[in-house]
Amino acid sequence: MGTVVAMVRHRSPKLFSDFNNLQFVAVFGSVLFVVLLFLMTDSPHYHSRSYSVDLPKTLHPVSMPWANRDDAMIVTVTRDGQIYFGVNRIVPAELPERITERLKDQSVERKVYIKADMRARWGAVKLACDAAHQAGILRVGVLVDKKRVSAF
Amino acid sequence: MAFSMAGGGARGPQINVTPLIDVLLTLIIMFMLVVSMDPEYGEKAQIPQPNNTPKPTEPGPRTIVIQIVLAQNGQPPSVKINRQDVRWEDLETELTRIYISRVEKIAFVRGDADVDFQYVADVIDRAHHAGVQRIGLMTKDLAGDAD
């Protein structure tokens, strides 16, 4: 690396001086700033293992660290009733087969995480629960957000 | 006497942006760490096994079914414990009173199909906080249990 820099400096001192100029650093800073804004505003989409929805908010949820595993079976129900298994949209009839397929892997937790939008109809969520039950799943984890109680 | 208009003289003052870049990098790293360590929260529930007897039976007298009934005119849904109306703010207190003397702390939750999922999650949460250990989500209506 040092050799390359030395060669660049030797052959083109102008180029090396440009490297430090204000314009370059400003562009670099702008890129970093955009990345920072993206992280601040779009962080929920980083959970790319499942579709993103507005989770219901409850006061006393428990921690479910296994839902963060890459092989966690997450069934998402969107506000308009669409069902996703992981990031793939499916019809409810396909869900038992998909879950059964995943259960062939012995290391996969025998539990389905229901990630439903807070405004999704219970009827749509019931379909997902039924499908999980058909695949032999008894335990479900209903993913929620922890409701923050204001001190004032 | 000649002078040059080209560069070569003292350069004008420049803002030192290196600390700004450092701050931005630090913030990015912090946000990435926060995003990666964001824990998942949830409510535990179960899907009860269907009864294998040919005719669905009425729930026993000790079975607690919390029902969420869709209200008209855009009002929040009402909640019932074994068909008895309970106010939302009294739900947890009532469940605590019921389960304080019970050994089997099991409850079932059923709701109308058009109820928002937020209310179902809320009922599960309040029931857990009231001491219910196992909550079954009733996804299939029992014929004898219909109102």
pLDDT beyond 50 at B3: no
Closest CA–CA distance from residue B66 to any residue of chain A (Å)? 14
- Tens of pLDDT, residue by residue over A53-87, are 899 999 999 999 888 888 899 999 999 999 999 88
Coil, helix or strand at residue B71: coil
In this prediction, does ipTM exceed 0.90? no
Q: Both tokens of residue B121?
A: 């999650």
Q: What is the mean pLDDT of residues A90-104?
A: 92
Interface subset of A 89-148, CB within 8 angstroms of B: 113, 116-123, 125-126, 129-130, 132-133, 137-146
- The answer to whether A65 and A101 have CB atoms below 8 angstroms apart is no
Confidence band for B147, pLDDT divided at 50, 70 and 90:
very low
Question: What does pTM read for this prediction?
Answer: 0.71
Residue of B100, B88, B76, B98 whose CA lies nearest to B125: B88
> By percentage, how much of chain B surpasses pLDDT 70?
78
pLDDT surpassing 80 at residue A16? no
DSSP string of B81-142, one letter each residue? ETTEEE-GGGHHHHHHHHHTT-SS-EEEEEE-TTSBHHHHHHHHHHHHHTT--EEEE--S--
| Residue B145 pLDDT grade (very low, low, confident, very high; cuts 50, 70, 90) | very low
**pLDDT score recorded for residue B23:** 87
Question: Are A122 and B116 spatial neighbours (Cβ–Cβ below 8 Å)?
Answer: yes
Mean pLDDT, residues B44-48: 90
Residue carrying the six token digits 């993103």: A52
CB pair distance less than 8 Å for B41 and A141: no
Distance between B136 CA and the closest CA of chain A, angstroms: 9
* Interface contact flag, B42 A141, Cβ < 8 Å: yes
State residue B24's pLDDT score. Answer: 86
**Contact assignment for B32 to A22 by CB distance below 8 Å:** no
User: What pLDDT was estimated at residue B80?
Assistant: 94
Give the N- to C-terminal CA distance of chain B in Å, as an integer.
107
Contact A35/B28, CB-based, under 8 Å? yes
| Cα B63 to Cα A122: distance, rounded to the nearest angstrom | 22
User: Is A40 touching B (CB cutoff 8 A)?
Assistant: yes
The rounded distance, in Å, linking the Cα atoms of B94 and A59 is 18
